[in-house]
Amino acid sequence: MQQMTLTRPDDWHLHVRTGDMLKTVINHTARQFARAIIMPNLQPPVTTVAQALNYQQEIRQATDNAYDFTPLMTLYLTNHTSIKEIKQAAASPFVHAFKLYPAGATTNSNQGVTNLEAMSPVFSAMQEHDIPLLIHGEVTDADIDIFDRERIFIEQKLYPLQQNFPGLRIVLEHVTTEEAVQFVQEMPDTIAATITPQHLMYNRNAILVGGIKPHYYCLPILKRERHRRSLIQAAISGNPKFFLGTDSAPHLSHLKENDCGCAGCYSAYAAIELYAEVFDNENALDKLEGFASFYGADFYKLPRNTAQITLEKTAWQVPAYYPVSTTNQLTPLKAGETLHWQLKG
Ligand code: NCD
Ligand code: ZN
C-alpha cells in the first residue's frame, strides 16, 4: 500500500509543557490529531479545574488556528485532592480524567500520591461520578529493580484497586511489559491501556548497547524484546482495550544529555507516522485506524472523529533537532534517521 486514509486520530497521553517548549511542540500534535489528553505534571502541577482551564487557554493560544485541535485536560492527583474537586472535574466539559503518579515515579511526580490505600474516598468518588483514572503504573520502592517496577505495581497496587473499585474506569498508561498486556486483556472492560511508539519500536538495548543513549531513556524504561513483541501483538490485535497514547515528553536536549538525564522521548513531531511504520512492518495497517482513531474515544465516552487524514509511503529525514529558543533545542526520537510514512498536507 502506498497511501492510506484514516479517521483523524487522537493522542490519549501527551506532555506539552508551557512557554517556549509548548510553542515548539503543540503544532506538531495539532497537525495530526484532533484531540489529545494533556498530562498535568507541570511544575507546579495542574490540580484544580480552574488551573486546567488556564492551561487549556495557554495551549489554545499556542496552537495555530489552521488546525482543528482540542486539548482534553486532566488533573494531577495529590494526597490532598478533595471530593469537591472530583465532582467539579466530572461536571466540567473540559476535564476528562485524573492522573495518578505514585510519588517519585517519574518527571515532576514529587507531589504525587504517597499512599494509595489512603485514597479510597477519592477513588470511590471518581467511580461514582464516572471520571477515568489514568495511572503511571510503577512502584517506587528503592529496593525494587527498575525493570520490575511495572509488573510489581500491577500485582500489588493495580489488581487490588480494580477489585475494590470495579466500576472505576482505569487506563494503565504506557504499558511496557507482557504482564501488563495480559493483565489488561484479562480484566473487565473498565480497564484499558495506552501504548507508546518507543515501546513498540525499541527494546532496552537501544538505551545501553554501544554507549549510553539518553534519548531512548523514558519511564517506564524500555524492556526486553519479548515484552516489545507482546506490546506489538496487543496493538495490532484489534482489541479495543489498547489504544494510542504517545507519552511524547519533550525535554531540552542538554537536560537529557546530562549526568542525570531526564526521562522522556519526544515523538509528537511524527507520532502517527511512527505508529504507521510499526503497523506496516507487521502487515497490520488495517488495524491502525481502530487503535489510533476509535478505541480511545470509545473508552473516554467521546464521539469518534469524522475528519480524515492521509498518510503516504514516502521516505523523509527526521531533523537532528527542533529549536526551542535561541540557545536551546529539542532532540526528537529518531533524530537524523529516515521515516517511511508521511502525513499529507
Ligand atoms: C514523562 C515526562 O517527562 O513528563 N516522562 C517519561 O519518561 N515518560 C513523565 C511520564 O509520563 O512518566
Ligand atoms: Zn507521560
Residue 290: the pLDDT is: 99
Ligand 1: which atom is nearest the Cα of residue 15?
Answer: 4
Q: For residue 297, which phi and psi values (nearest 5 degrees)? A: -60, -45
SS3 177: coil
Q: Are 293 and 9 in contact (CB under 8 A)?
A: yes
Residue 1: the pLDDT is: 59
> Is 189 considered catalytic here?
no
Beta-strand relationship, 242-244 and 191-195: parallel
pTM, entire model: 0.98
Cα 39 to ligand 1 centroid, rounded to whole Å: 9
Ligand 1: which atom is nearest the Cα of residue 219?
Answer: 7
Q: Which of 11, 189, 247, 280 is catalytic?
A: 247
Which ligand ends up closest to the CA of 14?
A: 2
What number of other Cβ atoms are within 10 A of residue 276's Cβ? 25
Bridge partners of residue 73, in order along the sequence: 38, 95
Q: How many helices (H) and strands (E) does the chain have?
A: 14, 15
Residue 107: the pLDDT is: 84
State which residues of the chain have pLDDT below 70.
1
Cα 297 to ligand 2 centroid, rounded to whole Å: 18
Q: Cα–Cα distance between 179 and 149 in angstroms, integer?
A: 11
* Ligand 1 proximity of 106 Cβ (cutoff 6 Å): yes
Which ligand ends up closest to the CA of 249?
A: 1
